[in-house]
Amino acid sequence: MAGNYNTASIERILPNLRFSNAIISLMETKLTHIDKAGLITMVDIGDKADSERMAVAKAEVIMKAETLLEIRAGAIKKGDVLAVARVAGVMAAKRTADIIPLCHPLQLTHIDIDLELQEGLPGVSITASVKTYGKTGVEMEALTAVTAAALTVYDMAKSVEKTMRIQNIRLVEKHGGKSGDFLNE
């Protein structure tokens, strides 16, 4: 619940930081995950309307061309990199509330993980699309899905190359809810 915070409660949360009165005033009205006593809390979404919600996130795993060729040829010793990463992405989306402290557990209605080998990177481009019908969005689930899929690509292929880079994790699309649509690509 936002609002009615006092300077003492904010200083208790962030004891080593000094803020101007203007910043404290802004914090007092905008901190949605801090209760009136200054304690971390999950936002109450009980009064929000149910609606269809969808989010799309993307990430890339950059690697040497030789590593990409080994993945394409199915020559990675741990097995099918893309299949395992796809399953990891699905599992991560379903478990987002277990690892992101203030996320609400959601009943997801659809998860799609797409992994594409791209010589131009070179590397693997990952896209996650997540849907639900409920009171809060699925942006964190989509972001968690692409992150877990990217980490799995790294884990599967690290015996070939340890210099791979996971980069450009971002939300690219969101639909539904009070804040409406969002496009970032």
* Sheet containing strand 123-134, strands side by side: 108-118, 123-134, 51-62, 165-175, 182-183
- Residues that are catalytic: 155
Q: 131 Cβ partners below 8 Å, 6+ apart? A: 52, 53, 54, 108, 109, 110, 111, 138
Do the beta carbons of residue 119 and residue 66 sit within 8 Å?
no
**53/139 Cα distance (integer angstroms):** 9
Query: ω before 122 within 30° of 0 (cis)?
Result: yes
Do the beta carbons of residue 111 and residue 144 sit within 8 Å?
no
Main-chain phi, psi angles of 35, to 5 degrees: -85, 180
Spatial CA neighbour of 104 closest among 41, 146, 175, 148: 41
**148/128 Cα distance (integer angstroms):** 11
